Amino acid sequence: MLIPGICGRITDRGDDSAAIPLAQSIGNDFPSGDAIAVQSAGIQAAVTHGWYAEDGGVHCAITGNVDWLAVEMADTQMKQDPARAVLQAYRQHGLGFLSVIGGRFAVCVWDTQKRSGVVATDRFGQVPVYWGHADDGALVFAPMATWIDRIAQRSHRIAEQAIFNYLYFHMVPSPGTVFEGTHKLLAAHALYFDNGRWEARRYWEPKFREHDDRPQRELGEEMMGLLSSSVGRLTCDGVGAFLSGGLDSSTVSGLLARHVDHPKTYSIGFDADGYDEIAFARIASERFGTEFNTYYVTPEDVLDALPQIAGAYDEPFGNSSALPAYFCARFAADDGRRRLLAGDGGDELFAGNERYAKQTIFEQYAKLPAWIRNHALEPTLNRLGDGVTLVRKAKGYVNQAKVPLPDRLQTYNVLNRLGIETIASDDLLAAVDRDDPLRLDRELYHHPRGASRLNRMLYLDWHHTLADNDLRKVNRMCSLAGIEVEYPMLDDRLVAFSTRLASATKMRGNKLRSFYKRAVADFLPEQIINKSKHGFGLPFGVWMAEHPGLQQLASDNLARMKQRNYLRPGFIDEITRLHREQHAGYYGEFIWVLIMLELWLTAQGINP
């Protein structure tokens, strides 16, 4: 599997005599054929698919696709390599060099003379960095959570809080991991060695503004110019693009056609009503003259590939669109592609997720005078029964509107809708902090200083939707397929541009992506601009309702899950009934989440 990253062991004592070499401690998973390693004066480091350099006792290991925001370092990188450019930046800026580095990367710098250093991931966490401490106090870090305990020479222990958070978010959110004593750097964070200890700190944050009042056409032209330049920088021999038929993948594919004649694009189809978007992908392909390649995922594909996909993640991961992403990436790799461009990030930069519009509707309730809400409307609704649909909906609206952001974003969470106490076992609840998921949301939501409600939701999604979910999904599936992936939408200059747009410009009223849609009005086909959003969602719940093989897959894994004492056995029976009798898509998605957890635990050799 293609795993770009840096791993290492740093001790402040300057003595590595007792340390097992990294390749030996990590074992067969370590891609030694692609690794560069160093062991010197307190540091062991290895970089896969990257560069290493040393100058005057300063060591640097870096991987990724670095895009310098300073001309002199960009020049050094072009003439030499990214590691030499980092050393130059370190000489000029010290540990503050992260202010001038962009792109997709993970980097380690250790100064053996000053006994200081930094380990960092990029601004969106595209290259993950996991870390922890060995028993002797040494810092250990790696691109895979499962490698940390191996480098630290200790046994894996599952963190029950992580299991609870996984059930809540369908992934394990940063900065925690599924293993006790192992952490993950948040996007735009670094580990700094100060005063004899390592500390994780944020090194970059967006500055959201609300006052760019230039003409819309001028702003749209700037956006398209920045995005086209980003696509151009990421274009290489053997490049192709994901094409779902949505706004972002269609834009990226169209701009790729400006740089490559008849580029190859890859789309996924499903034989299921409401899920198949091939028609829109074909419209985009025909507009831009791409070579259109389509793979139809089947229930048999799910049965064949699911254990491999679950085991490919170093933590349990429950996003069902990982499976179509894998088949799309594998299809492209088998077709000779070396790199795919993906459209992830556009919704989170330019306000494209449905929940942003929903929250605008809920926020209107708070604008009513308090006496109307507290002494007229709510008492009247409380006196009325729930038998009338309109009254029931009005009560639901009021109840949700009274929940503050960001907690309200989790209203439709399965754990909240069905009740945590009816899902999690007593033992799990006794071992965890059930408020931890909401606390993680709140810390991110309230962090941007002076930001609007919309920009706070965007920033929250940069972390939980992008870094912890979508990028993790696509990165690992492309790695499993043996192909690189890049995200033109996450170009640092384009991100900075998005923060200068007023919230009312990004989303006019309840109209999602209103600025973006105007900017691409003369570029994309009208059918794509005005279509509803789908993406690569998998119709697992719908298929499982009728497919015996998927029913057996679910039955076998849910039976094993019953034995683990994470969930109440009765709940597993109940979720199966709800899937069968009420909403196959909604409840089937949570069954998928449970199956992926069980398959991941099994792949790790953790038996019930």
424 within a domain of the structure (yes/no) = no
Query: For position 493, which CATH number holds?
Result: 3.40.50.620
Give the range of the structural domain holding residue 502, as residue numbers without chain letter: 216-351+458-529
**Measured over all CA atoms, what is the biggest interatomic distance in the chain, rounded to whole angstroms?**
78
Q: Is the pLDDT of residue 332 over 50?
A: yes
State the CB neighbour count (10 A cutoff) for residue 435.
9
Chain segment 59-71, per-residue pLDDT in tens: 999 999 999 999 9
Q: Are residues 360 and 343 in the same domain?
A: no
Q: Are residues 156 and 103 in the same domain?
A: yes
Q: Are residues 135 and 264 in the same domain?
A: no
3-state secondary structure of 81: coil
- The mean pLDDT of 278-291, rounded to a whole number, is 96
> What was the pLDDT predicted at 608?
83
Give CA separation, 274 vs 160, 321, 535, 542, in Å: 37, 15, 11, 10
- The mean pLDDT of 270-283, rounded to a whole number, is 86
Alpha-carbon distance of 529 to 491, in angstroms, equals: 22
Contact 538, 532 (CB under 8 A): no
Query: For position 76, which CATH number holds?
Result: 3.60.20.10
Q: Among residues 278, 321, 293, 325, which one has the least CA distance to residue 477?
A: 325
306 within a domain of the structure (yes/no) = yes
422 within a domain of the structure (yes/no) = no
Residue ending a domain, choose from 480, 507, 529: 529
Q: Is the pLDDT of residue 268 over 70?
A: yes
Residue ending a domain, choose from 478, 504, 529: 529
Alpha-carbon distance of 482 to 194, in angstroms, equals: 38
427 within a domain of the structure (yes/no) = no
Alpha-carbon distance of 21 to 370, in angstroms, equals: 66
> Model-level pTM greater than 0.85?
yes
Alpha-carbon distance of 144 to 106, in angstroms, equals: 12
Alpha-carbon distance of 22 to 36, in angstroms, equals: 11
3-state secondary structure of 109: strand
Q: Is the pLDDT of residue 463 over 90?
A: yes
> What was the pLDDT predicted at 17?
47
In sequence order, the β-bridge partners of residue 240 are 264, 340
Q: Are residues 170 and 41 in the same domain?
A: yes
> What was the pLDDT predicted at 191?
98
Q: Are residues 15 and 136 in the same domain?
A: yes
Q: Are residues 142 and 242 in the same domain?
A: no
Q: Are residues 239 and 316 in the same domain?
A: yes
Contact 300, 578 (CB under 8 A): no
Alpha-carbon distance of 575 to 590, in angstroms, equals: 8
Residue ending a domain, choose from 494, 529, 564: 529
Contact 501, 539 (CB under 8 A): no
Q: How many helices and strands (H and E) does the chain possess?
A: 29, 17
Chain segment 486-506, per-residue pLDDT in tens: 999 999 999 999 999 999 999
- At 136, is the pLDDT very low, low, confident or very high (cuts 50, 70, 90)? confident
Chain segment 510-560, per-residue pLDDT in tens: 899 999 999 999 999 999 999 876 555 789 999 999 999 999 999 999 999
Mind spelling out the 3-state secondary structure of 310-344?
Answer: HHHCCCCECCCCHHHHHHHHHHHHHCCCCEEECCC
Q: Are residues 59 and 131 in the same domain?
A: yes
Give 386-445 as a DSSP string: S-SHHHHHHHHHHHHHTSPTTGGGGTT-HHHHH-HHHHB-HHHHHHS-TTHHHHHHHHHH
What the block records as the tokens of 282 is: 């074909």
Q: Among residues 517, 563, 591, which one has the least CA distance to residue 251?
A: 517
Q: Are residues 145 and 253 in the same domain?
A: no
> What was the pLDDT predicted at 398?
85
292 within a domain of the structure (yes/no) = yes
Q: Is the pLDDT of residue 272 over 90?
A: no
Q: Is the pLDDT of residue 36 over 80?
A: no
Alpha-carbon distance of 180 to 130, in angstroms, equals: 12
In sequence order, the β-bridge partners of residue 287 are none
Alpha-carbon distance of 223 to 87, in angstroms, equals: 32
Alpha-carbon distance of 370 to 62, in angstroms, equals: 56
What the block records as the tokens of 254 is: 């169209």
Q: Are residues 107 and 65 in the same domain?
A: yes
534 within a domain of the structure (yes/no) = no
What the block records as the tokens of 384 is: 């009325």
Characterize the bridge pairing of strands 484-486 and 339-341. Answer: parallel
Q: Are residues 197 and 72 in the same domain?
A: yes
What the block records as the tokens of 353 is: 């997720």
Contact 60, 76 (CB under 8 A): no
State the CB neighbour count (10 A cutoff) for residue 367.
7
For the chain, the domain total comes to 4
Q: Is the pLDDT of residue 282 over 70?
A: yes
21 within a domain of the structure (yes/no) = yes
Residues 6+ apart with CB under 8 A from 304: none
Alpha-carbon distance of 116 to 113, in angstroms, equals: 8
Alpha-carbon distance of 475 to 342, in angstroms, equals: 10
> What was the pLDDT predicted at 13?
66
- The mean pLDDT of 98-113, rounded to a whole number, is 95
> What was the pLDDT predicted at 271?
83
Q: Are residues 242 and 102 in the same domain?
A: no
Mean pLDDT of the chain: 92
Strand order in the sheet with 197-202: 50-55, 58-68, 101-111, 116-121, 189-194, 197-202
Chain segment 297-322, per-residue pLDDT in tens: 999 999 999 999 999 999 999 999 99
Q: Is the pLDDT of residue 155 over 70?
A: yes
423 within a domain of the structure (yes/no) = no
- At 399, is the pLDDT very low, low, confident or very high (cuts 50, 70, 90)? confident
Give 188-208 as a DSSP string: TEEEEEETTEEEEEE------
Count Cα neighbours of 400 within 13 Å in the Cβ-side half-sphere.
22
